């Protein structure tokens, strides 16, 4: 439920870019800034979540963030200008990292070892469901009543999710104050831990591929010969539901296989899915999107769990820094593919997605694999590398 609440609003505007552009008199590429500024705000905020929340009960922080995220969504829905719309999206990006980073830290403090990867996978499955639900609600209501009413409906769903978290999430003890600045301790430790640093690069590649795919595939399918409408584009996000089932199943493999193998599986799925979308048939395109998105969420579960398992003190800071790189990659996914899209169309975007998955696999194989660069080197610090 925490994962679902975190991702309900993150990419909710991804499928309604033409409607937003028409409302504010901008180009579709400019309307995509509604996603970019959100992810940039998340990247800027995430590293500081640990310092701001470490003295408070995790449950209270998670519950409050889950409820507060509805407010900037309402602001965005009733924006009078494009600048105000972007300001609301920035506010959304400031709140979401609190919910995401503190929940991942909560998982790391509650479970240990390989169980952490499995439980993180359930959280990631929840983000998958939230990503689908947010897009589905917004696109469906937009087709009937316009996008402002759609965001109003989304805010109501966020409040309901926050209430459910308040009722269901077990209580935790407040985190004791650290003897020294956890950010400084973590930065020193991170500078000596290349596998964790590699995880940040891997996370950026993972979200770059996802955002590139689902930002531009909607534009691709809206053009001839497909001519998908708003509701039809919203329905393609149902492919995320496959990842809800597959991601926890794949995470169970982590009990028997090293994390680099799980990431290699994720990258293989991502590459295969991207290549399938080059087929002209809609069923094959949807199959490719389903396979590719599953690869993305499996990779996200592997990378975030690797960071969580590799930290003790300063865990929320380490996870927050991972989220910064992760969402910087997502921000790049809306901007960097523009020249490729304009010159080569969908095929150019697919080429970028394939390259991102291959780079992630190479980094994991080099730095995560037992015997790889610094993979077995650990020092007594607040961050250790799982073997």
- If you compute the radius of gyration of the chain from its CA atoms, what whole number of angstroms results? 20
The boundaries of the domain holding residue 133 are 2-169+182-367
Confidence grade of residue 226 (pLDDT, cut at 50, 70, 90): very high
Q: Is the predicted pLDDT of residue 163 greater than 80, yes or no?
A: yes
Residue 177 in any domain: the answer is no
Q: What pLDDT does 371 receive?
A: 53
Examine residue 372 and state whether it is found in any structural domain, yes or no.
Answer: no
- Burial readout 266-278 (b: 16 or more C-beta within 10 A, e: otherwise): bbbbbbbbbebbe
75 falls within a domain: yes
User: Does any domain span residue 334?
Assistant: yes
234-248 confidence digits (pLDDT tens): 888 888 888 778 777
Closest-CA residue to 138 (of 14, 222, 28, 286): 14
In the block, residue with structure tokens 């980073």: 101
* Count of the separate structural domains present in the chain: 1
3-state SS string over the chain? CHHHHHHCCCCCCHHHHHHHHHHHCCCHHHHCHHHHHHHHHHHHHHHHHHHHHCCCCHHHHHHHHHHHCHHHHHHHHCCCCHHHHHHHHHHHHHHHHHHHHHHHHHHHHHCCCHHHHHHHHHHHHHHHHHHHHHHHHHHHHHHHHCHHHHHHHHHHHHHHHHHHHHHHCCCCCCCCCCCCCHHHHHHHHHCCCHHHHHHHHHHHHHHHHHHHHHHHHHHHHHCCCCCCCHHHHHHHHHHHHHHHHHHHHHHHHHHCCCHHHHHHHHHHHHHHHHHHCCCCCHHHHHHHHHHHHHHHHHHHHHHHHHHHHCEECEHHHHHHHHHHHHHHHHHHHHHCHHHHHHHHCHHHHHHHHHHHHHHHHHHHHHHCCCCCCCCCCCCCCCECCCC
Task: Supply 280's token pair.
Answer: 């002209």
Instruction: Say which CATH number the domain at 340 has.
Output: 1.20.1250.20
Do residues 103 and 123 touch, judged by C-beta distance below 8 A?
Answer: yes
Instruction: Place 370 in a pLDDT band, splitting at 50, 70 and 90.
Output: low
Are the C-beta atoms of residues 186 and 317 closer than 8 Å to each other?
yes
| Distance of alpha carbon 189 from alpha carbon 329, whole angstroms | 23
pLDDT band at residue 295 under the 50/70/90 scheme: very high
Tokens encoding 376: 């077995």
Q: 246-285, pLDDT tens digit by residue?
A: 777 766 766 677 788 889 999 999 999 999 999 999 999 9
Mean pLDDT of the chain: 84
- CA 1/CA 355 separation, integer angstroms: 33
Q: Greater confidence, 130 or 377?
A: 130
pLDDT tens digits along 75-132: 999 999 999 999 999 999 999 988 887 887 787 777 766 676 677 778 878 888 898 8
* Number of Cα atoms under 13 Å in the Cβ half of residue 387: 4
Residue 379 has pLDDT above 50, yes or no: no
Split at pLDDT 50, 70, 90, the class of 345 is very high
Q: What is the pLDDT of residue 112?
A: 67
Mean pLDDT of the region 63-75? 95
Q: Is residue 373 part of a domain?
A: no
Rounded to whole angstroms, how far apart are CA atoms 277 and 283?
9
Cα distances (angstroms) measured from residue 154 to each of 7, 64, 77, 83, 357: 11, 17, 10, 21, 31
Q: Choose the weakest-confidence range: 31-35, 113-117, 143-147, 341-345.
A: 113-117
Question: Does this model's pTM top 0.85?
Answer: no
Q: Would residue 174 count as lying in a domain?
A: no
Q: What is the pLDDT of residues 166-188, one digit of tens each?
A: 888 776 554 544 444 455 545 66
Residue 386 lies in a domain: no
Q: Is the predicted pLDDT of residue 315 greater than 70, yes or no?
A: no
Between the CA of residue 278 and those of 14, 125, 285, 350, what are the distances in Å? 21, 27, 7, 8
Residues 2-47: tens digit of each pLDDT: 889 988 999 899 889 999 999 999 998 899 899 889 988 988 988 8
d(CA 355, CA 205): 9
């Amino acid at each position: 439920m925490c994962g679902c609440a975190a991702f309900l609003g993150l990419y909710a505007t991804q499928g309604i870019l033409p409607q937003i552009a028409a409302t504010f008199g901008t180009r579709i590429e400019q309307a995509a800034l509604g996603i970019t500024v959100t992810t940039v705000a998340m990247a800027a905020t995430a590293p500081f979540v640990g310092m701001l929340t470490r003295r408070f009960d995790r449950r209270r922080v998670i519950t409050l963030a889950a409820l507060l995220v509805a407010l900037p969504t309402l602001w965005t829905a009733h924006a009078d200008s494009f600048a105000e719309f972007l300001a609301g999206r920035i506010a959304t990006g400031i709140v979401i990292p609190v919910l995401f980073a503190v929940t991942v830290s909560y998982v790391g403090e509650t479970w240990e070892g390989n169980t952490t990867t499995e439980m993180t996978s359930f959280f990631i499955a929840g983000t998958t469901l939230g990503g689908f639900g947010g897009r589905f609600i917004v696109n469906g209501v937009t087709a009937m009543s316009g996008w402002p009413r759609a965001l109003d409906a989304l805010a109501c769903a966020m409040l309901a999710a926050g209430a459910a978290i308040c009722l269901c999430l077990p209580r935790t003890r407040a985190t004791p104050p650290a003897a020294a600045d956890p950010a400084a301790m973590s930065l020193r430790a991170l500078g000596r831990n290349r596998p964790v640093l590699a995880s940040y690069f891997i996370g950026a590649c993972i979200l770059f591929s996802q955002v590139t795919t689902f930002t531009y595939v909607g534009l691709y399918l809206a053009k001839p010969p497909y001519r998908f409408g708003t509701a039809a584009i919203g329905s393609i996000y149902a492919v995320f539901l496959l990842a809800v089932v597959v991601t926890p199943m794949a995470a169970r493999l982590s009990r028997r296989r090293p994390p680099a193998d799980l990431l290699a599986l994720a990258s293989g799925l991502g590459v295969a899915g991207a290549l399938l979308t080059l087929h002209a048939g809609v069923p094959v395109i949807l199959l490719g999107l389903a396979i590719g998105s599953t690869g993305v969420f499996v990779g996200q579960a592997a990378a975030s769990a690797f960071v969580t398992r590799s930290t003790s003190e300063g865990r929320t800071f380490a996870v927050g820094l991972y989220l910064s790189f992760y969402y910087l990659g997502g921000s790049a996914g809306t901007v960097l593919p523009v020249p490729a899209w304009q010159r080569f169309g969908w095929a150019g975007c697919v080429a970028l997605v394939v390259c991102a998955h291959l780079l992630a696999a190479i980094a994991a194989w080099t730095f995560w694999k037992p015997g790889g660069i610094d993979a077995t080197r650990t020092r007594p610090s607040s961050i250790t590398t799982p073997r």
